[in-house]
């Protein structure tokens, strides 16, 4: 009865600005995402519209609503993103953007995820361990003569090389550099295509169309070579050989779309996560000292084996806690496929439902001192997939979760044994809705001398985490 009564009332939310309607709320979400999300929740509750009188975009906050939205993919669909439908589907770019798990729902999503799952089974991910270690070792060697680095840029370069190597099996250094640059240019240009999706010379969209054609040609040639030589040492090879009980396989267009989406999802987000972890450790000297003690005791300066990585409990807690504070995605969006009830309010068909990993992870009823970096909480804390969801939850949970976790553990275990990183004093560090550090994280590089101390930093980082005063 309470649900029926509540659904008769308008969804609460801020007044809309003249002419802007919900667009005003979206603008605030992009300009100051984290304070805006918290303000909405504190002021209006668990179900909030971005503008009074409209239900185009509605926010659903908290684990109960996360469960309602993410456990019912038929009603709250991930596919059909309006930003993707702007692009011509007969272009290489249109196919890249539409042929992936993030844009699929229903039986097609279930079939494709089932076909892709073997590429991310534990045994298959273990095969990528050597590539992760050797590429990390190359990066650490390049720091020997460095005194200052932009940690985020270094992590971007490393995760890009790991992604290219493990996804496509590229061994030649020149080819790795070429493909990596092509993928990086492609993803950077994509961010600007949404505002002006017109094929006019000089526009980001025109550039993306050309880059996507070059990338697609490379992928088609790679697929043909792998089929001819029966290669099986990388993700793309595993996807090529994947088949279900009926013998169904992935087409070339589907292989290309999935491989590109895996690169986009895994490269940038892992680089962001590693960057934030290294910054948080630098700001918490005691945690860093205890983590290095764990690494020394287990590894004694050696490169970690997979078995050893699984035994490093504090390293695991550090990663989990950083992903809680800085989840790879701050928000997600699902689209109501039909009229429905959400948290006691009636939603029309087509409503964009915004859920927030960031907001969920800051709820004090779930996490004591939610703005503090406390890795040891995970020694005794357990949370459901809808209370802790750095990789989303439900059927669309990130398929590369185990891959990303293994990669972060390898990089951190090797890096921290060799170097101590210290922020440039009073560096300004902020972030975006994408959780990307802006403009980066400048840090001094020292041999690991265990002289841990906190160096103050500035920026909106202080709105996201409570840093020690000294």
> How many structural domains is the chain composed of?
1
pLDDT for 81: 46
Higher-confidence residue of 280 and 237: namely 280
Residue 194 forms part of a structural domain:
yes
Of 35-49, 126-140, 182-196, 218-232, least confident by mean pLDDT is 182-196
Which one is predicted more confidently, 190 or 91? 91
Q: Identify whether 470 is part of a domain.
A: no
Average pLDDT value for residue range 14-41: 87
Q: What whole-number distance in Å separates Cα of residue 48 and Cα of residue 24?
A: 14
Establish if 469 belongs to a structural domain: no
pLDDT tens per residue, range 66-122: 999 999 999 999 864 444 444 556 688 877 777 777 778 888 888 888 888 888 888
Mean pLDDT within 204-225: 87
| pLDDT digit string, tens, across residues 239-283 | 888 887 787 888 888 898 888 888 877 788 999 999 999 999 999
d(CA 325, CA 390): 9
Least trusted range by pLDDT, from 24-28, 121-125, 227-231, 249-253:
227-231
Asked whether 83 and 196 are in contact (CB, 8 A), the reply is no
Looking at residue 344, what is its pLDDT? 93
**Which CATH number does the domain housing residue 107 bear?**
1.10.630.10
Evaluate whether residue 104 is within a structural domain.
yes
* Per-residue model confidence as pLDDT tens digits over 320-372: 999 999 999 899 999 999 999 999 999 999 999 999 999 999 999 999 999 99
* 228 domain-assigned: yes
| 46 located within any domain | yes
Domain of 60 in residue numbering reads as: 2-464
Whether the per-residue pLDDT at 457 is higher than 50: the answer is yes
Tell me if 398 is assigned to a ligand binding site: yes
């Amino acid at each position: 009865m309470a649900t029926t009564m509540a659904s008769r009332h308008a969804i609460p939310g801020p007044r809309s600005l003249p002419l802007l309607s919900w667009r005003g709320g979206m603008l605030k979400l992009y300009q100051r995402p984290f304070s805006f999300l918290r303000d909405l929740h504190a002021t209006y509750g668990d179900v909030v519209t971005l503008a009074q009188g409209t239900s185009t975009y509605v926010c659903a906050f908290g684990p109960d609503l996360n469960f309602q939205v993410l456990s019912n993919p038929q009603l709250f669909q991930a596919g059909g993103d309006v930003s993707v439908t702007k692009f011509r589907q007969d272009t290489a770019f249109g196919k890249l953007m539409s042929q992936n798990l993030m844009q699929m729902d229903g039986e097609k999503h279930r079939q494709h995820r089932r076909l892709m799952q073997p590429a991310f089974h534990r045994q298959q991910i273990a095969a990528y361990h050597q590539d992760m270690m050797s590429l990390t070792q190359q990066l650490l060697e390049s720091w020997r003569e460095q005194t200052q680095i932009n940690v985020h840029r270094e992590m971007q370069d490393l995760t890009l090389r790991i992604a290219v190597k493990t996804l496509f099996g590229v061994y030649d250094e020149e080819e790795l550099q070429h493909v990596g640059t092509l993928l990086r240019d492609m993803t950077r240009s994509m961010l600007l295509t949404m505002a002006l999706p017109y094929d006019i010379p000089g526009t980001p969209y025109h550039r993306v169309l050309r880059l996507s054609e070059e990338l697609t040609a490379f992928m088609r040639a790679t697929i043909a070579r792998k089929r001819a030589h029966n290669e099986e040492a990388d993700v793309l090879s595993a996807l090529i050989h994947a088949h279900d009980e009926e013998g169904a396989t992935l087409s070339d267009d589907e292989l290309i779309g999935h491989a590109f989406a895996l690169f986009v999802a895994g490269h940038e987000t892992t680089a962001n996560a590693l960057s934030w972890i290294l910054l948080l450790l630098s700001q918490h000297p005691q945690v860093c000292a205890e983590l290095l003690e764990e690494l020394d005791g287990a590894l004694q300066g050696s490169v970690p084996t997979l078995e050893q990585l699984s035994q490093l409990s504090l390293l695991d807690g550090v990663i989990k806690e950083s992903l809680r504070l800085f989840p790879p995605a701050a928000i997600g969006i699902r689209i109501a496929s039909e009229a429905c009830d959400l948290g006691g309010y009636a939603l029309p068909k087509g409503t964009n439902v915004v859920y927030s990993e960031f907001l969920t992870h800051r709820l004090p009823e779930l996490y004591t001192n939610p703005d503090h970096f406390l890795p040891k909480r995970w020694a005794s804390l357990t949370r459901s997939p809808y209370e802790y969801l750095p990789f989303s939850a439900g059927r669309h949970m990130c398929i590369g979760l185990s891959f990303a976790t293994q990669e972060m553990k390898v990089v951190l275990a090797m890096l921290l044994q060799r170097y101590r990183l210290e922020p440039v004093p009073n560096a300004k560090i902020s972030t975006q809705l994408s959780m990307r550090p802006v403009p980066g994280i400048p840090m001094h590089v020292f041999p690991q001398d265990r002289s841990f101390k906190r160096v103050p930093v500035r920026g909106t980082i202080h709105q996201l985490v409570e840093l020690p005063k000294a």
